[in-house]
Structure 1
Amino acid sequence: MSPAAVLERTSTPVPAVSTQSQVDELLRSIRIPPRPSLLADMQRELTAAEPSPMAIGQIVASDAGMSGALLKLANSALFGGARQSKSVNQAISFLGVNQVASLMTGLLARQSIPAEGAALADFWETSSRRAVAMVFLARRLRIGTPDVAHTFGLFCDTGMALLTARFPDYAATFDAACLEPVRPFTDIEDERHATNHAAIGSLLARSWGLSSDVAWAILHHHDYSVIDDDATPDAVRSLVALSLLANRAIDQYRGNASSHEWGKGGERACAYLALQEDETTDLLDQLHDMFHQSA
């Protein structure tokens, strides 16, 4: 699907952007970072008939900064535990090539979309916390794969960072969307900017060669009706449902007793994940404790 097609499919038509040329102009004005060469090399190896851990290790080791950052993540409580990796090859052996690729993709995203200012620094802190929570939930509930959950958790809101760079008043749009109790978050963005962070984030995911499930889940992660849609792939539905739980845990950790997004989709998410109220509370408490331990 072309960038313009994604934008048109997910945006409410408004007079400011009413022609194809204006849609294209808007898209060109939003800088989507090109896929890093390291990521392209790694994805090429992963699509081989038999991906080589040694080749993946050589790709990672070619960048000293990435190697150090990967080892730090691999040895964190969530991924490393008692097994401490002393080299990139050990990290790959402990975690597997797919999880290493997911961690590298996240590190490259932070490098390509730098945190300039307090707002974007908070954005990356939230994205990292969400990714960790998504891995925990995927493992605990045995739904989906942790590496895919991690990638989605990091990337689902990247469109916000790109829209912040494009529109000086996006912070006000974000605040208004957060306070909307009924309508989808993305509706507010569409009205003000003729596009939304889910559409832009999906474009970034596709241009970076991320899986189609991740790209589609990003596109629909504020459209909670997909959770009930049997025609939507289970992988997409589970990512959207898990993200609601992860974001609810982050809200509670930050002292926010209520959440409009949870009110819009929480019940659907719990039903899809077959979680009773006490099970949901227990998972949220465990995530809260995990956030405190990693603070």
Structure 2
Amino acid sequence: MFASSRKSSLFSSLFQTPHIICRGSSRNRVISGSDIAASSKVSAQWTRLGLSEKKPQEQKPAYATSDQRMASLSELKEIFRKADAVCFDVDSTVIKEEGIDELAKFCGVGDAVAEMTRRAMGGSLTFRAALTERLALIRPTREQVQALITEHPPRLTEGIKELVHKLHQRNIQVFLISGGFHSIVEHVATQLDIPLTNIYANRLKFYFNGEYAGFDETQLTAESGGKGKVIGLLKEKYGFRKIVMVGDGATDMEACPPADGFIGFGGNVTRQQVKEKAKWYITDFEELLRELDSDSIKMNHNDIFY
């Protein structure tokens, strides 16, 4: 269970009025039959001359790196030490629990939601569909979410507070990217002195009477591959050259690329796939602290101090 804490100011996001977003239709170029015939004729002429038609190069995303090969362990450690930003998953990484499981237990449907989670992990559902089904079963009210955070706030994983502080000392920005809920992640960010603007997570919606009204499906974290899309957005928005993702799950590992490095974390739960495939796999944050400290010692020997 979470330890007790009361910070009612953290629940402002829960009271936002649900809004309607209108999507504009996309514009598609219409290709006529005459266009296709003309193109075929030109291609045939190139072929008769023994030449190859030059095809336009595929445009790479703005966040794509020049070298997408898998970094070695030593290279990954170097990337971590010199990163512009480090992004952390929240559930079972920054905190000990899975937020949606705790909310389900608090609302009395823990076992049923856990079973749905196991089925969803089989890959038969998209992330959005799985989230929709589980929340439809939980149907948390605004008061229940507030009570969960107030009575059983999330427990920080050992060493994370010190690690975030050390990263901030080195002017490395820290972001929280979660498939969980913004209201819970806000509480975590406040404990770690992370700006609330550095949170990317899902938002629950409620009717005026506090009843559950769904979740904001426009958030990048509400869709499959969302964490990678967030990292791509961060690179485009802030011009970061090196970003490292840290997390326990496959969705965290899949965010690299566009992340330049991934560090698997197994301090709270072991995901076998991540443990086997991650180039750098840790079970406590002390290892990352030691890596930063060793780098500081090397820098000090060169009369450069942080």
Q: Say yes or no: TM over 0.5.
A: no
Of structures 1 and 2, the one with the larger relative CO (CA 8 A, separation 6+) is: 2
**Structure number with higher strand proportion:** 2
Larger-Rg structure: 2
Q: TM-score scaled by structure 2?
A: 0.32
Q: TM-score scaled by structure 1?
A: 0.33
